[in-house]
Every structure is written in C-alpha cells, then in structure tokens.
Structure 1
Amino acid sequence: MTDQVTPPADARPGQVAPAAAVTMPPVTPAPDETKIGASRGLAAWLTKNKTSFAITSYQSGRLLLVGTMPDGTVSVHQQAFGRAMGICWDRKGLWLASRLQLWRLENILPEGMVAQEKFDLTLMPRSTHITGDIDIHELGVNAAGRPVFVNTSHSCLGTIDPIESFRPIWKPSFISELAPEDRCHLNGLGMVDGRPKYVTAVSQTDVPSGWHGRPLPKGVIIDVETDKVVTDQLSMPHSPRLAADGKLYAVDSGRGWLVEVDKQTGAVRDVAFCPGFLRGLALINGYALVTISKPRYGRFEQMPISEELTKRNLDPICGVMVIDLALGEIAEWLRLEGDVQELFAVELMPGITCPMAIGPQSEEFHGTVTFDAEIKPLEGQG
C-alpha cells in the first residue's frame, strides 16, 4: 500500500497550494478517496537530512510512513490502525497509541536487507498493551526504554503496567484527583535526556471538560520536573519540543503558529504561520516538521486562527509543513486531500530512507512469520 508521489511541475519551495496528486490504494476507505501531493524539493530534503518520517491520522485511522524511493520520488506507505494517535521512534521500532491499546512495531528486516528493492525498514506489530479508552495523546520513551504517554482522559502522565490499564507517574499540581473527565486537556509531551520534561494543556481547569470554555482559556506549557508553568499565554497549545540549541518550541494551535517560548520569562515569539490546526511537531537540523488539519466542524469555532486565515486569504489544508526555523518560512510540504482531513503526530526516523509497515488489517499480517533458525534452549534448562 505504497504511493509514489510526483510533485507538480510548477511547485515552488514554500508554496502552499494544490499539488499534482496520486490516488491512494484502498486500506479501510473506498478507492479514489485520498490524494497526496508533495513539494518538488521534499524528496531531496529527506535525502539531505538522512531521514524519513511517520504521521498518524486518528480521524481516518492510519499510520503513514513517508520516505524516498530509489528513483528519488516521495514514497507514502500506509496501514490502518484504529484512531492512530501518538507515536515514538525508538531502537529502530515504533510505539503507536490507538483507541484501546499501545502497539509496539519492530523492524523485521535483517541488517542490510532491502525489501522489494526499495524498503530498508519493515515494521511489524509484535506486542500490544491494552489500556482501554484513556485517550492517549503524545508519547515518548524514557532512558530505560519504557513508554511514557499523556493520558488525556485522566489528566496525567502514565506508563504501561503488567496488571493495570496504566500506571500514573505525574499529574499537574492543579488537578486534584485522577478521574476519566479530561479536566484540562493535557495533550503534548516533550522528553529531554530520557525523561518527561514539558507538557502542554489547554487550560488549568480542575472540573470535567473544563477546557471547553468560550472564549478559549489560556493554554499552558508546564515543566514536569518543577511543576512550574513556563507560560500561560498560548491558545490550545500542543507538542512542546526542546531543540538541540536549547530553544523551546511548541505549536500554538488556536492561533495557527509555530512558536518559540522563552523558558525563563515565558515570552512567546511567533516563528511561522501554517494554514490549518497544528498538532504534531518534530525538529531536525534547523527545521521543524508540523502536522496541520482542516477544521473538524467545517470552521474554526471562534478561534483566532480563523481571523488570520481570512486576513491572509488562505483556506485550511491537511498535511505536513517543513519549516525553516531561521527564516520562519515553509520550505517543503506534503498535502493530503479527500477522506483524510485531520493529522495528529509526526515523528522523524533518522537513518531510514524508505519505510513500510504491515498492519493488523492487512493481507500480509497473517502470513508474515519470522524466526531465528538457530535452536536455543530456554535459559535455565541446559
């Protein structure tokens, strides 16, 4: 289920406009419902930065892996995972949160092998932890290799547990108890040196669904280690990320801006505006990758982004923007049209050129069997 995306002949870097598109083969939806276009320079950008990336679409239930074909065109490989949300690249494998469970996908290709003469990574689900519907948003992995996730339903950070649905490990100081009430819409998680460091929340409310207020409440970034509110000057923030140079970035989704936040003063600096609802964020070599989505109900309900789009005479789109942080400009892009209207996470996969995955609903899933041919007794049995 791979698409070779050819950019339009007249596309320019930074241009956010309809692209020449290809029709996606069916996964869950019917044929001819999803089209993908890419900027002319996206494949070259991926090659230069020696990376590929993964994105999730919870609205259409998909994991999409974006890389570069041997002929230099963009590859988009997709598989179905119900309500695919947070993802984390770790040890050449992928953690993926879905509606009721946390999946672990492992690379089943032997070192140096290339599948179908193009794929240098084949991800296969090898384990899953059943959490129940706790609305996992972003996730990361700590220094011990243990997943850490945002349990949005219970307003806390959690990890997996062999017996329980989850094990809570931190909650904001303003949350009085853990209850499945989504009190503040805790959503984003930034890991630093193998530890959870920053989180985002839409509000500092401690009542069921308190973040749904109008006008929009002040969104916050919180330092997990100190419980300090780094800033409360954001509108529906998401995805706090610390860059290699120590700068703190996030997406100010209600306004449509990628922003830099001063860690000491909380001052917010606008970096780049994107025409859609921002969620995911990944940083590499002076660039930021962000996912943008169309409005869920046809319009951005009294959000500041609505006025900004009108002022710029832009329509919201769904896709991934590659932003040059130094210039504050969109350098490259991937755009989706059709039945995929919303994206969630974006995760870089450094060192991988052309990835693919085998999903639990695919035809290949039942017949893909791998094993080490060497017979080895169990430990302790001689």
Structure 2
Amino acid sequence: MTTRVGSDDTASGVRPATSGAGTPVSWTHSASLPEILTRAGCSLLVSTYQAGQLVAIGTDAARINLSFRHFDRAMGVAVDPADGPSASGRTGPGLTVGSKNQVWSLRSFPDIAGQLPGARYDACYLPRTSIFTGPVQGHEVVWGRDPNGVPELWMVNTAFSCLVGLAAPDRAEHNFVPRWRPPFITSMAAEDRCHLNGLALRDERPAFVSLMAATDEPAGWRRLPKASGMVLDVASGQPVTTGIVMPHSPRWHDGQLYVLNSGVGHLQRVDVDSGRRDVVAALPGYTRGLAIHDGLAFVGLSRIRETAIFGDVPLAEYHDQLKCGLGVIDLASGATVATFEFTDAIEEIFDVQVLPDVRCPALSGPDTGEIWIA
C-alpha cells in the first residue's frame, strides 16, 4: 500500500479493496485520527454491506493503515469475549461477523501478524467456522452472557422481526433459535414487519432494541412515516423513546442510553425515564454504526441512496454534501475530534466496533487469495 500525505489537516491513501484486480478504494482522514486512536489504545472495525467489505482501521508509524477483506453483505460485527468459544491463551479473543447467509467466526493469530508484509501488524484475524442462518436479513450480532455468566451470541433477525440465539456449528440443530420479539409481532414469518435492526446490552443482557415502526404487517414499516422509529425496552416490550427517523445502533454506556437518529444525522442521548432525547452531535451523513470507547463515540456515516426508502428523510435535502466514513465525537463536549472518509467505491456503512489493545490489525476473509494457513 502506498499512503500519501495531503495537507496539514488531512491525509489520504488508495489501494485495492481485495487481492488481485479489485476495485480501488480511496480515503482521506483528519490529521488528528492517528493520534486519537493511539491515545485511546485501539483500532476500528467497519462493515460496508453495500461493498461487501470488512475494514480494519489501525495505525502504523503514526499513519493510518487499512486492511480489507470480503464478506458477502458484511453487516453486524462483534468482538468476542476473552473467554468466548473462539478464544484461547495462544490466540486471544476473535471476531464474529454477520454476512448475507452466514455468521463467521474469526480467530486471532498474533504470530502470523508479525510475518505479514506491508505494515507492522500486531493482530491477524482468520476465519475458522461459520453458522448458516439462511437469508434472515441478520443485522447486529452481539455477545452477551446467560444467567450463569456463560458467553452467548445474539443476532437481530430482521426478516423474522425477533432476537435470536445462535448455537456453535457442531451443536446447531436449527439455523437460529427465536428468543424475543416485540409484543406487537403476532407470529413468526420472514416478512420484515417492523425492521428490527439494533440491540443494546445492559449488564451483558439484551436491554434495548431499535426498529423503524411498530407494525405487524408484512414490510409495514416501509409504508409509514419515516419518523415512526423507536427504541423498545426488551424487558417490558414498551417504547422508551419514539419519533426517531430510521433509528439504528442503540448502545448502553456508563449508565446512559445512546441511539443514532439516522435520517437526521444525529447521535442522541436518551433519558430512559422521560423518553427525551438530547443531541450529542450532528454529523454529515446517515448515521449507522456506533462504538463507544475511552470517552469517544465512533459513528458510522453513509451517503443515502436515491430510493423511495430514503428520498424523504431530512438528510435527503443535503444529499450532495453527505459523507461515507466515520466521525469521532468527544462525548463530554459533543465536538468532532477526528474524521475518516471513503471518497469513492464505498457508499454505505452498517457497523462500527472498537478493537481495544490492538494497534494495527490485519484481516483475512473467505473469498480472498490472502488466507494464511495456521
């Protein structure tokens, strides 16, 4: 990879998104981003479902380094718990990546990382197993714990309007196991009735979900006003806050609930008692994908497509000004302290996750010639 430094305010680079003659991807970022990641002691994972890529964003010699690997319709991403099924004393925690019809498990191989050319990698993630879910429109995947403290994987099954569990591949008798659905969903059917899309844990148990509209009709959310979105409390099934324009990525952090008001481009903080939402930051894109770490919110930004789904959201008025990338927000002040932008080839981001204590990760996916044999 060749990285060229731009002005004092930004740096940029370009490389293929896959091995061989893949589509070139260009990016730019604020000069502050390498220092921000270094100070926070982390790197980032970004899924780009429209481009079918999982992207690792890290730092090497005070420069941003990107690693791309293909997953068909890459969606939810989760960093596995340290004592999860993909971890061992030799390899450390792995990753879980949702894709079109499968959920992939990747393991970390630090020894291989040191052998890779191109950058000084300190982690390398290789696929080891996958669970076949079928075309369930899986959105977020999240690691929680059962009442006995054992790690368990949850997935937002958007097609069936429910939260589901996924068993280990060698014990899976079903594609998924339904565990919870909104009280207004009367039956299990692959009809994407309310467009359930996000899950927040509290004390490592499912606590809040985001959805587009409280409807029990097949694809009913598509026919309702865009501001019909809401966050539900899982325990009661009741709304916590309503009137959100296409919400995504609810997160519980440090005793507070956050959500992305995607169609307005806002990161918002929710008062769970009153339902009031306060704007933490306004960003130049369709906000989707949120990770919070070390007092910082890493927010995914997408350009919006010219379709009936997005045509009348408030952001559509600023269609030509929207960015695809990341905004890094100081939660205390609401200030944008760093930015990252894909300037071509990639238009939409779904998920953003933090890799703590990893400086420069490398990825290997199922459809690339760069898979390493361990």
Aligned AA (2:180): W
Establish whether residue 176 from structure 1 lines up as the match of residue 186 from structure 2: yes
d(CA) in 2 for partners of 1:106, 1:236 = 34
Partner of 1:378: none
Q: Is the 8 A contact 2:213 2:228 kept in 1?
A: yes
Q: Is the 8 A contact 1:82 1:99 kept in 2?
A: yes
Partner of 1:292: 301
SS of residue in 2 equivalent to 1:85: coil
Q: Is the 8 A contact 1:7 1:38 kept in 2?
A: no
Establish whether residue 87 from structure 1 lines up as the match of residue 77 from structure 2: yes
Matches within 5 A, 1:199-348: 199-244=209-254, 246-297=255-306, 300-307=310-317, 309=318, 315-348=321-354
d(CA) in 1 for partners of 2:20, 2:179 = 38
Q: Is the 8 A contact 1:86 1:139 kept in 2?
A: yes
Matches within 5 A, 1:39-54: 39-54=30-45
Deviations 1:311-339 (A, max 9, x none): xxx70110011011222221101100211
Deviations 1:101-154 (A, max 9, x none): 000000022499675561111000011000001011011012222210100000
d(CA) in 2 for partners of 1:248, 1:301 = 28
Partner of 1:78: 68
SS of residue in 2 equivalent to 1:146: strand
Deviates more, 1:140-149 or 1:96-105: 140-149
Partner of 2:7: 9
d(CA) in 1 for partners of 2:222, 2:278 = 25
Q: Is the 8 A contact 1:4 1:75 kept in 2?
A: no
Aligned AA (1:267): R
Residues 168 and 32 from structure 1, CA distance in 2 versus in 1: closer, same or farther, beyond 3 angstroms? closer
Deviations 1:51-92 (A, max 9, x none): 0010000001000001110x1101111101100000001132
Deviations 1:259-296 (A, max 9, x none): 01101110011111111111100111221111111112
Poorly superposed stretches of 4+, deviation over 4 Å: 3-7, 28-32, 110-117
Aligned AA (1:61): G
d(CA) in 1 for partners of 2:332, 2:30 = 20
State TM-score, norm by structure 2. 0.89
Deviations 1:332-365 (A, max 9, x none): 0110021111111000010000000111122132
Aligned AA (1:322): V
Residues 349 and 270 from structure 1, CA distance in 2 versus in 1: closer, same or farther, beyond 3 angstroms? same
The count of aligned residue pairs is 353
SS of residue in 2 equivalent to 1:348: strand
SS of residue in 2 equivalent to 1:322: strand
State TM-score, norm by structure 1. 0.87
Percentage of matched positions with identical amino acids: 34
Matches within 5 A, 1:135-214: 135-143=137-145, 144-161=150-167, 162-214=172-224
Q: Report the CA distance between 1:214 and its aligned residue.
A: 4.7
d(CA) in 2 for partners of 1:81, 1:52 = 20
Residues 114 and 192 from structure 1, CA distance in 2 versus in 1: closer, same or farther, beyond 3 angstroms? farther
d(CA) in 1 for partners of 2:305, 2:356 = 32
Q: Is the 8 A contact 1:55 1:64 kept in 2?
A: yes
d(CA) in 2 for partners of 1:32, 1:157 = 35
SS of residue in 2 equivalent to 1:364: coil
Establish whether residue 61 from structure 1 lines up as the match of residue 52 from structure 2: yes
Deviations 1:163-222 (A, max 9, x none): 111100100011111110000000011122221111100100100111112532421111
Residues 194 and 80 from structure 1, CA distance in 2 versus in 1: closer, same or farther, beyond 3 angstroms? same
d(CA) in 1 for partners of 2:157, 2:113 = 38
Query: Match for 1:118 among 114, 120, 131?
Result: 120
Partner of 2:129: 127
Flag structure 2 segments of 5+ consecutive residues without an equivalent.
83-92
SS of residue in 2 equivalent to 1:45: helix
Residues 114 and 322 from structure 1, CA distance in 2 versus in 1: closer, same or farther, beyond 3 angstroms? farther
d(CA) in 2 for partners of 1:139, 1:35 = 28
d(CA) in 1 for partners of 2:345, 2:209 = 31
Deviations 1:18-57 (A, max 9, x none): x553221251795564201111010110010000010000
- The structure with the largest alpha-carbon Rg is 1
SS of residue in 2 equivalent to 1:96: strand
Q: Is the 8 A contact 1:4 1:73 kept in 2?
A: no
SS of residue in 2 equivalent to 1:142: strand
SS of residue in 2 equivalent to 1:206: coil
SS of residue in 2 equivalent to 1:282: strand
